[in-house]
Amino acid sequence: MKTILVTGAKGQLGWELEGLSYTHNYKGFKFIFTDLDSLDITDEVAVKTIFREQSIDYVINCAAYTQVDKAEEEPEKAMLVNAKGVANLADSAMNYNSVMIHLSTDYVFDGYYFLPYTEESAMNPVSQYGKSKLESEKVLLKYSRSFIIRTSWLYSERGNNFLTSILRLAEDNNELRVVYDQVGCPTYARDLAKVLLDIILACEKLENPPFGIYHYSNEGVCSWYDFARAILKHSGKHNKIIPVETRDLARPAARPPYSVLSKTKIKSVFHIFIPHWEDSLISCLSQIEN
């Protein structure tokens, strides 16, 4: 039985991975779910210990420093988790010949290309968070048995994300102000979690797995304003949404104005179907209602 280590398991993606782990598709795997309280990836000794004691075959690294604005104040902490932590995992993975699957972000791009970003597009992060995630990629690219999955606008029915924030704000405010000049694509955490596990299933069947960088988000394109309108529409709410420009919000960290990711590579290599973002949103909202 192969062992899959999931770090950052209390986050929205880790939570979805744990839910999928109980389904029959993955009954041939042993899952170990850890979070900061059980495995601090910046602790080199702790990482080495779990690899030695558990004989890890696959790592899905969901652990990350993700507070985009706060990273401007504490870039060292962001770099510690997102670069040093990944280096610790990669070093142990190399020693045990484990496969690493690491989550990265559209924030490694500056957002001024205005065509879908491919895996080969030039990177130029404009925030401390983006810079720390770029460093994590550089670290992992030194390890040949690794997948880097860049994603964007991740959300689910739990945790702190755009969907849950809009629903919470809608309870107490008749009007919501949402930016319309940032364009990308939402990613439902459950869809992404399934793809990550499908990549592992593919690795089990292939003598030479296609390691490298891949992009994944749901299909389609929208602004945060469009996404907010769809959230309220499909949840039966009628709050007024006022479109504003990014500069009106005066946030500490710069955001990419355009971060649509091309999914051509991941679709062609792994033969996966990617749902449209609005279909996945409806699916996610149905989980909240239930």
The helix (H) or strand (E) run that includes residue 217 is: none
Task: Compute how many other C-beta atoms are within 10 angstroms of the C-beta atom of residue 265.
Answer: 17
Q: List the alpha helices (DSSP H) in the chain.
A: 12-21, 44-54, 75-79, 85-96, 128-140, 162-172, 189-205, 224-234, 246-249, 264-270, 277-289
The amino acid sitting at 30 is: K
Q: Which of 58, 129, 214, 258 is flagged as catalytic?
A: 129
129 is catalytic: yes
Cβ atoms 269, 275 nearer than 8 A = no
Q: Is 14 helix (H, G, I), strand (E, B) or coil?
A: helix
User: CA 185 to CA 153: how far, in whole Å?
Assistant: 6
User: CA 203 to CA 10: how far, in whole Å?
Assistant: 25
Q: Which residue has the tokens 């992009």?
A: 215
Active site residues: 129
